[in-house]
Structure 1
Amino acid sequence: MSDPTGSSPGAAAAARMVDTPAHVSGQDARRVAFAAFVGTALEWYDYFLFGTAAALVFNRLFFSTLDPTAATLAAFATFGVGFVARPVGAVVFGAVGDRIGRRPALLITVVMIGVATGLIGLLPDFAAIGVAAPALLVLLRLAQGVAVGGEWGGAVTLAVEHAPPDQRGRYAALPQLGSPVGTLMSSGAFALVLLLPDESFDSWGWRLPFLAAFPLLVIAFYIRRRVEESPVFDQMLAQESDRPKIPAGEVFTHAWGRLLVAIAAAFLGVGGFYVLTTFAISYGVDTLGLSRTLMVNATLVAAVVEIGVIVLFGRIADRLGPGRVTFWGGLSSAVLALPVFALLTTRSPVAVVLAISVGIAALSVAYAVTGALLAELFPARYRYSGVALAYNIAGALSGFLPFIATAMTSSIGDDPWVPATLLIAVSLVTAVGGFVGERMRVRDEVVVD
């Protein structure tokens, strides 16, 4: 029977690599981390656009034959489809990244999601083509999900494998900045088009943020194309002749215990974020009667706060360890969950902005170090696949949380403890993942010239 801690032939091969450390210059490490950040920011911009549009647009224009609650549920279900597709992308691009190279996989993913997002901006709505509109929307959301399934794991892996061993926390935090920057870009784009008259917004204004994906794709592809391949991967190619034919299969066979821990550690950063953005926007607008502009602007302020939290705790992880930071981040998010949703129900604009900002800041403590922790839970032989699978299985499990939270508030009531209960559960799962994960970390060496 396989060892769930990853003590397999692949892990042993990875251990042999320590004998001859990979070399990389400090300048290369910084350039790669920046390129990982730029590509990831585009990916999350594209992906988050869909979440905001699901709460504000798709329910009315693509599911217009349903009553308001059912339309919102349908829009969130479509939103969740992207999460189901993400593990597929993790398997496909994990195989590319672990067998052919980290760099080629990341070039494909950035093109794929940019094109899919731009095409959403060109889709006719239900009034124009009927049921084909939501069907095409689902297909493009699936394409987004597959691309993101391979993107984040590869970006983090590439950044970590170029980083000095004692600074992996701060380098792995740079791709994490793609999330708040992507939020700023997507929420900012929607905040601008929401200034349009309602008729203009519904007919063409909402499309502009999606169409902006095309020029952003050109920039991201150019930057990412200039990135060097991972020195750890190059070293692995030179030393190993038995690369896994199906890296994901090796993860499930030899490191399923590590995979479970990694999924738990990543759970809050994915699921909690969508509870406090996608669901919270819908909850504020449809249940509490708050303005769309207020809720979107609250996410903008929260994204700025998140940037500071990620930078700070990425550095703290280099001293304390990413698992310990994840543990305390999960506990803090659980403690603050009920106060956050209680503040929303006050309907005070200041309280609403404070609530979203505090909630996002708390979960970002764990999210800041997710990349560093997950990358050190898997040996280089199947690291891309392991990191991508863990993160995206967590996404698939938590992607329907906005749907579940909406269904709960609709059937049980709109008291703040209802969505807070979900957030507490997710936070505690991640706290456990961080506690266990700190004790399972593996390291490969990189020498910085």
Structure 2
Amino acid sequence: MSHPQEHPSSSATAPKISGADAGKVARAAFVGTALEWYDYFLFGTAAALVFNRLFFTDLDPNAALLAAFATFGVGFAARPLGALLFGYIGDKVGRRPALLITIVMIGIATGLIGLLPDFGSIGLAAPIMLAVLRLVQGLAVGGEWGGAVTMAVEHAPAEKRGRFAALVQIGSPVGTLLSSGAFAVVLLLPPESFDAWGWRLPFLLAFPLLLIALYIRVKVEESPIFKDLLAEEEAAKVPAFEVFRYAWGRLIVAVLGALLGVGGFYMITTFVVSYGANTLGVDRQVMVNATLIAAVAQIFMTIFAGRVAERVGPGRVTMWGGILTGLAAFPLFMLIDTRSPLAITLAITVGILLVTIAYAVSGALLAELFPAKLRYSGVALGYNIAGATSGFLPLIATAMLTISNNASWGAAVILVAISILTAIGGFFGERLRVTDKNIVVDD
């Protein structure tokens, strides 16, 4: 689990980090990331409520749902490729240009989904084009999160990295609020209007949101630590290759540490929304509203966990988040199986809060697993390999319903398994953290 030693900077060229700038950069990273997650999360909700009926209509209902979730998973499969591509740009050219490219890609891809004809109009070409646009989304998100976290962490004083990395993570629940809120509004339309054009509106909103996000990203300064690497000619030649060669053990720990935050989230949102609406027969609005309530609670848990990580370390917080989520998995699904709107809302909210304990600190944990010259690539690869692994969990859990006669125990077992793996990642991650040397904090 060794890693290349960083070349010490001279005092004259040591990177200067401003506490005031750190907050500005983290807030800009948060806004841009929230808008990107809005784009990405839309697809998950639509896969459960729209695409199975309008884009895979030559299949029976169960097969159509599986096909929709398979298309959803394509975006996750593409994310490691995006991590390789944008990790190279971020560690060789700069963090900032990589983030500008990713936001344009995902905004355009999401908006175009809203313009796609459905299966009834153009037949098989509709799901094919849907899968291609999902692939573009996955490539872009593969570079987005790692870059946003790297920028926030590298602009922050070491003792405050937990809170600024957590601020980026708030982009996830805000993105959920925006995407679920948009769907909650269009679900108020009559069913025929929703199917005809209403579901497209949240996707088309990506175009104006892209302009906002791009404006914010353009104003963000390059990382002072990366500037120092360039000045010292210490940038890695092929960053991903060096991660696999020198830091493969750290990469494994990063994947484990990120697994629950990504996979657990989609189990408790994407899968549970589909399970409640399509298997239990619960009203779709109840399921979507539950995710909205959970997203609001998630914001406060993210802030709290980020502060705790500054005191006890992000690895320990990750470990306890994994343990608590694993213990709660079966009771949560028992609540969902009651079909009670109140019980379902409680289960989804508590489930999201528990998953968030690990997710809130994953940015700080992963960023401190890798030296600066490999950080963008290492963070992006770790997070997105976890994403590629866990993106198909809703598909697997849905397939297991046919084995379990629509019982939820299979989904609970999956949640327990990824919780244990993340607890292990947190345990080792805390012991492998690295620090950036010779940084001058200019407050």
TM class by shorter-chain length?
A: over 0.9
Question: 1:134 is aligned with what amino acid?
Answer: P
Is contact 2:103–2:144 with CA below 8 Å preserved after alignment? Answer: yes
Alignment equivalent of 2:328, drawn from 311, 328, 336: 336
Query: Over residues 279-316 of structure 1, what are the superposed CA-to-partner deviations in whole Å (9 max), with x where a residue is unaligned?
Result: 00110011111010000000000000100000001011
Give 1:416 deviation, angstroms: 2.8
Is contact 1:17–1:444 with CA below 8 Å preserved after alignment? Answer: no
Q: How does 1:23-422 map to 2 (within 5 A)?
A: 23-240=16-233, 242-422=234-414
- State how far apart, in whole Å, the 2-side matches of 1:92 and 1:419 are: 33
Is contact 2:28–2:216 with CA below 8 Å preserved after alignment? Answer: yes
Is contact 1:5–1:440 with CA below 8 Å preserved after alignment? Answer: no
Secondary structure, aligned partner of 1:12:
coil
Is contact 2:56–2:68 with CA below 8 Å preserved after alignment? Answer: yes
Question: 2:101 is aligned with what amino acid?
Answer: I
Give 1:17 deviation, angstroms: 4.0
Alignment equivalent of 1:437, drawn from 421, 429, 434: 429
- State how far apart, in whole Å, the 2-side matches of 1:59 and 1:426 are: 27
Secondary structure, aligned partner of 2:132:
helix
Question: 1:155 is aligned with what amino acid?
Answer: A
- State how far apart, in whole Å, the 1-side matches of 2:345 and 2:6 are: 50
- State how far apart, in whole Å, the 1-side matches of 2:63 and 2:406 are: 16
- State how far apart, in whole Å, the 1-side matches of 2:117 and 2:171 are: 30
Is contact 2:259–2:422 with CA below 8 Å preserved after alignment? Answer: yes
Query: Over residues 33-89 of structure 1, what are the superposed CA-to-partner deviations in whole Å (9 max), with x where a residue is unaligned?
Result: 011101110111000000000000000000001111000000000000000000010
Query: Over residues 323-368 of structure 1, what are the superposed CA-to-partner deviations in whole Å (9 max), with x where a residue is unaligned?
Result: 0000000001001111111000111111010000000000100000
Percent sequence identity is 67
Question: 1:100 is aligned with what amino acid?
Answer: V
Question: 1:5 is aligned with what amino acid?
Answer: S
Give 1:5 deviation, angstroms: 2.7
Secondary structure, aligned partner of 2:400:
helix
Question: 2:282 is aligned with what amino acid?
Answer: L
TM-score by length of 2: 0.98
Question: 1:41 is aligned with what amino acid?
Answer: A
Gap runs ≥5 in structure 2: none
Question: 1:417 is aligned with what amino acid?
Answer: W
- State how far apart, in whole Å, the 1-side matches of 2:205 and 2:22 are: 29
- Alignment coverage as a number of residue pairs: 440
Secondary structure, aligned partner of 2:6:
helix
Gap runs ≥5 in structure 1: none
Give 1:448 deviation, angstroms: 3.2
Q: Is 2:2 aligned against 1:5? A: yes
Is contact 2:47–2:69 with CA below 8 Å preserved after alignment? Answer: yes
Question: 1:82 is aligned with what amino acid?
Answer: G
1:448 corresponds to:
442
Is contact 1:290–1:347 with CA below 8 Å preserved after alignment? Answer: yes
- State how far apart, in whole Å, the 1-side matches of 2:237 and 2:220 are: 25
Is contact 2:18–2:156 with CA below 8 Å preserved after alignment? Answer: no
Give 1:415 deviation, angstroms: 2.4
Question: 2:31 is aligned with what amino acid?
Answer: V
Give 1:410 deviation, angstroms: 1.6
Give the direction of change, closer, same or farther, for the CA distance of 1:291–1:183 in structure 2 (3 Å limit): same
Give 1:263 deviation, angstroms: 0.2
Give the direction of change, closer, same or farther, for the CA distance of 1:17–1:69 in structure 2 (3 Å limit): farther
Secondary structure, aligned partner of 1:369:
helix
Secondary structure, aligned partner of 2:16:
strand
